[in-house]
């Protein structure tokens, strides 16, 4: 084809459309048709063309098979379609609401565009002063339509609508087309956003707030900014919990350096609009290979040195004592109390020593593991073990077994192989040490009052000092039992063993099952309904297996093994992916924020503070009972909510149920290592803002006082 042919086609299109626009009998210009595409102007006014309503206009392009037009960033070649409107005075057309594009590979290049039927809608708000009468709308549109060759086309379109004084006849002839365009538009939301860092020749984009059903699935990245990325190279996507990290190759010929970018992510037919904020600037961009693609973490500044080792030891001991009162530890402790009553004085002493040793060694081991993982670059904090679904599942199975034992479904002696049972009888202290280990496993997520500061400080200390602090914590937790065991006067206060114990034993099974309920809920939050049900199936299998096993006989035992094996095999896929990488729905549920709360991010916080609004951040996790307690009591208190509203405080929630490096980094910055943490920021403070931290256990009055003290009035 030569230039003249193209020109003739243009001219023809212009003449045709112009002629039809002039035809007086016609309200609407005829479609502009070529061999490649047919385009027409559509109007849609579901509430009528009347003052205060919204008029929708759109250019519809029907592509011939295999032909395409382009998105706002066309990719390696091509041009975006442009719409220039001429509207009556007082009317303004909005931007094109682009549907999510497709990747159109062509040889070594990739374009972003559309095939099939496309509607590019714009919204036109009709002013309250809109006079009734004819409304003439003109559109000059240009589009480039390509297959293996490209043809620029354009058209003049016009339509005359009748405006009415009040809501008149709706204009809905093309409702389906506009509804489809609305559905194809990428989903927007305040929690959908991303932070990007430059790492060598790669843009590392960390996206959050994505739909729950997307987790673990393949996602495509479309940069809306031209001249930044290498469109033809595939990005690498990696899920960690509900956070998606994309490694997007930068164009070696990058011509633009935007700090606020836009992108569209697609997963199958679904799409979201993703605002991408660049952190750390473009200066780091280079063609040199990056040493690590992980976003750099600012060096950890230990919190104020006011918490020295001595004080940390004391605080940890007190914290340990208080752990005994935490709701998550209580069921285990009730067992402990039960054992105390039964034991003779001598046994009691050995038991207390064993229990103390179990608690202290477990705390030290956990802290050692935490320190080792952190040294290895893991972004984790205290309570990290419960961020792993299979640990939660294991604990749930353990508690189910304890409950069944208390109900008398099986006796431990019968369930264990003979030699183990004998060994256990000879060394009852093993039971005590095991109880200690169990208590720690359960207690660790409940960061009791005092412990937040102590543990944060502890982790900043040299390793041996940190371990000493955790040992002190364990000593504090075990202290009450040691005291009872070693002070006969206290022991005499204990009730005598008797028939009442059988009843209490059964009674204690219920708090155990309550703990199981909690763990199932935690796993459900982490992995979705599938994971929770898988755990329930596993628990059922465990319950049957332990009962059948103790019936004796190879038939029963075989059935126990088969049932447990089947349940395990069935459940494992839903439990086995750490961080719940399975593509399960509902996982974003905790982030789908309760009314009045929005998801926390450093950017949202900074932006809100810059707007002059105070911010209250609730660092929480599903597995943190204290957090849930505060959420349902002090934070849900009507007076507290009223005080928040009165002072215009923006409420943000940082959910740490699954691993989240950003939240871990922020906790470190605040000198804490676990949740709950409640931070209140005054607007206008120098960056990085230093908040007022509220206690770990909140009272409604306490929160209100802090609000009044920090924000005044």
Partner 1 sequence: MTVATVRRTFLAAAALCAAGALHAQAVVGQAAPPLQAMDANGKAVNLADYKGKTVVLEWVNPSCPFVKKHYGSGNMQATQKAAAGQGVVWLTVSSTAPSHKEYQKPAELAAWMAEQKAASTLVMDDSGAVGKAWGAKTTPHLFIVNPAGQVVYNGAIDSKPSANPADIPGATNYVNAALGELKAGQGIGKAATTPYGCSIKYAS
> Site residues (CB under 8 A) for partner 1?
1-3, 6, 76-79, 106-109, 111, 142, 144, 146, 148-152, 226-227, 230, 232-233, 252-256, 287
Q: Cβ closer to partner 1: 47 or 293?
A: 293
Tokens linked to 673: 């290592």
Q: Cβ closer to partner 1: 237 or 396?
A: 237
Closest CA to 114 of 122, 104, 124, 123: 104
Least distance from C-beta 123 to partner 1, angstroms? 26
Q: Cβ closer to partner 1: 48 or 75?
A: 75
Helix (H), strand (E), coil (C) string for 19-70: HHHHCCCCCECCCEECCCEEEEEEEEECCCCCCCCEEEEEEEEEECCCCEEE
Chain mean position to CA 349:
47
CA distance 452 to 454: 6
Least distance from C-beta 610 to partner 1, angstroms? 32
Return all residues near 398 (Cβ < 8 A) that are at least 6 apart. Answer: 438
Around Cβ 566, how many Cβ atoms within 10 Å? 12
Least distance from C-beta 507 to partner 1, angstroms? 55
CB 380 within 8 A of CB 386: no
Around Cβ 402, how many Cβ atoms within 10 Å? 21
Least distance from C-beta 344 to partner 1, angstroms? 58
CA distance 446 to 390: 19
Tokens linked to 232: 């033809």
Least distance from C-beta 154 to partner 1, angstroms? 8
Q: What is the CA radius of gyration of the chain?
A: 33
Whether cis (ω within 30° of 0) applies to the bond prior to 240 is: no
Least distance from C-beta 74 to partner 1, angstroms? 8
Q: Cβ closer to partner 1: 76 or 655?
A: 76
Least distance from C-beta 205 to partner 1, angstroms? 19
State the Cα torsion 223-228-229-232 to the nearest 10°: 90
CB 192 within 8 A of CB 205: no
Q: Cβ closer to partner 1: 27 or 256?
A: 256
Tokens linked to 603: 């950017």
Least distance from C-beta 364 to partner 1, angstroms? 36
Least distance from C-beta 551 to partner 1, angstroms? 46
CA distance 241 to 586: 12
CA distance 31 to 13: 10
Least distance from C-beta 572 to partner 1, angstroms? 24
Tokens linked to 479: 């202290």
Q: Is 218 helix (H, G, I), strand (E, B) or coil?
A: coil
Q: Cβ closer to partner 1: 68 or 215?
A: 68
Tokens linked to 592: 């789908």
Which residue in the block uniquely carries the two structure tokens 């048709």?
Answer: 33
Instruction: Look up residue 378 and give its DSSP letter.
Output: -
CA distance 470 to 323: 13
Least distance from C-beta 6 to partner 1, angstroms? 6
Least distance from C-beta 106 to partner 1, angstroms? 5
Q: Cβ closer to partner 1: 148 or 344?
A: 148
Q: Cβ closer to partner 1: 111 or 400?
A: 111
Q: Cβ closer to partner 1: 95 or 148?
A: 148
Q: Cβ closer to partner 1: 150 or 179?
A: 150
Q: Cβ closer to partner 1: 285 or 536?
A: 285
Least distance from C-beta 65 to partner 1, angstroms? 17
Helix then strand then coil, % of the chain, to nearest 5: 45, 20, 35
Q: Is 416 helix (H, G, I), strand (E, B) or coil?
A: coil
Least distance from C-beta 348 to partner 1, angstroms? 55
CA distance 657 to 675: 10
Q: Cβ closer to partner 1: 80 or 511?
A: 80
Q: Cβ closer to partner 1: 76 or 343?
A: 76
Q: At how many degrees (to 10) do helices 529-549 and 554-576 cross?
A: 160
Q: Cβ closer to partner 1: 199 or 405?
A: 199
DSSP string across 483-502: HHHH-HHHHTTSPPPSTHHH
Q: Cβ closer to partner 1: 68 or 174?
A: 68
Instruction: Look up residue 474 and give its DSSP letter.
Output: H
Q: Cβ closer to partner 1: 79 or 461?
A: 79
Q: What are phi and psi of 572, to 5 degrees?
A: -50, -45
Q: Is 694 helix (H, G, I), strand (E, B) or coil?
A: strand
Least distance from C-beta 112 to partner 1, angstroms? 12
Around Cβ 243, how many Cβ atoms within 10 Å? 20
Chain mean position to CA 104:
31
Q: Where are the alpha helices (DSSP H) in 408-462?
A: 412-415, 418-426, 429-443, 451-460
Closest CA to 461 of 367, 379, 369: 367
């Amino acid at each position: 084809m030569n230039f003249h042919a193209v020109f003739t086609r243009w001219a023809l299109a212009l003449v045709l459309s112009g002629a039809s626009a002039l035809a007086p009998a016609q309200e609407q210009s005829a479609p502009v048709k070529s061999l490649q595409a047919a385009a027409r102007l559509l109007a849609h006014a579901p509430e009528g063309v009347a003052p205060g309503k919204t008029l929708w206009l759109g250019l519809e392009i029907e592509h011939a098979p295999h032909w395409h037009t382009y998105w706002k960033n066309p990719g390696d070649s091509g041009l975006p379609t442009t719409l220039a409107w001429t509207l009556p005075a007082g009317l303004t057309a909005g931007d094109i609401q682009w549907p999510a594009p497709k990747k159109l590979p062509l040889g070594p290049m990739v374009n972003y565009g559309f095939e099939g039927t496309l509607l590019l809608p714009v919204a036109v708000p009709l002013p309250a002063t809109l006079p009734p009468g004819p409304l003439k709308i003109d559109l000059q549109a240009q589009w480039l339509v390509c297959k293996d060759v490209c043809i620029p086309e354009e058209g003049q379109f016009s339509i005359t609508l009748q405006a009415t004084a009040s809501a008149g006849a709706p204009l809905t002839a093309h409702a389906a087309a506009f509804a489809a365009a609305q559905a194809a538009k990428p989903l927007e939301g305040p929690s959908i956003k991303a932070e990007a860092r430059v790492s060598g020749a790669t843009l590392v984009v960390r996206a959050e707030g994505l739909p729950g059903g997307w987790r673990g699935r393949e996602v495509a990245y479309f940069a809306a900014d031209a001249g930044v990325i290498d469109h033809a190279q595939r990005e690498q996507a990696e899920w960690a919990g509900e956070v998606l990290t994309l490694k997007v190759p930068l164009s070696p010929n990058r011509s633009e350096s935007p700090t606020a970018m836009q992108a569209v992510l697609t997963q199958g037919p679904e799409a979201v609009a993703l605002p991408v904020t660049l952190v750390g600037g473009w200066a780091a961009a280079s063609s040199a290979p990056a040493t690590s693609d992980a976003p750099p973490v600012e060096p950890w500044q230990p919190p104020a040195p006011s918490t020295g080792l001595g004080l940390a030891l004391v605080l940890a001991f007190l914290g340990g004592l208080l752990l005994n009162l935490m709701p998550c530890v209580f069921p285990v402790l009730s067992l402990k109390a039960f054992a105390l009553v039964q034991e003779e004085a001598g046994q009691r002493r050995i038991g207390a020593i064993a229990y103390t040793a179990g608690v202290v060694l477990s705390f030290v081991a956990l802290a050692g593991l935490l320190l080792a993982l952190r040294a290895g670059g893991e972004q984790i904090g205290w309570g990290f073990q419960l961020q792993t679904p299979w640990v939660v599942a294991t604990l749930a199975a353990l508690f189910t077994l304890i409950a069944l034992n208390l109900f008398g479904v099986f006796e431990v002696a019968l369930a264990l192989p003979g030699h183990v049972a004998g060994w256990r009888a000879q060394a009852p202290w093993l039971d005590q040490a095991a109880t200690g280990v169990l208590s720690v496993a359960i207690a660790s997520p409940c960061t009791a009052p005092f412990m937040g500061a102590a543990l944060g400080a502890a982790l900043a200390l040299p390793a041996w000092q940190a371990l000493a602090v955790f040992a002190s914590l364990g000593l504090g937790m075990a202290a009450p039992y040691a005291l009872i065991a070693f002070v006969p006067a206290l022991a005499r206060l204990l009730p005598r063993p008797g028939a009442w114990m059988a009843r209490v034993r059964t009674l204690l099974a219920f708090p155990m099952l309550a703990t199981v309920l909690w763990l199932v809920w935690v796993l459900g939050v982490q992995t979705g309904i599938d994971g929770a049900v898988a755990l329930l199936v596993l628990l059922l299998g465990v319950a049957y297996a332990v009962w059948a096993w103790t019936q004796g006989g190879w038939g029963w035992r075989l059935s126990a093994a088969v049932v447990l094996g089947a349940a395990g095999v069935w459940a494992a896929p839903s439990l086995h992916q750490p961080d719940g990488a399975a593509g399960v729905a509902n996982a974003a549920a905790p982030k789908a924020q309760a009314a009045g709360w929005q998801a926390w991010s450093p950017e949202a916080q900074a932006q809100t503070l810059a707007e002059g609004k105070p911010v209250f951040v609730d660092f929480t996790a599903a597995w943190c009972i204290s957090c849930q307690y505060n959420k349902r009591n002090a934070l849900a208190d009507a007076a507290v909510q009223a005080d928040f509203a009165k002072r215009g405080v923006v409420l943000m929630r940082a959910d740490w149920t699954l691993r989240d490096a950003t939240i871990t980094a922020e906790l470190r910055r605040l000198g804490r290592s676990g949740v709950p943490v409640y931070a209140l920021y005054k607007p206008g403070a120098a960056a990085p803002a230093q908040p007022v931290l509220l206690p770990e256990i909140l009272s409604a009055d306490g929160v209100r006082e802090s609000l009044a003290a920090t924000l005044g009035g």
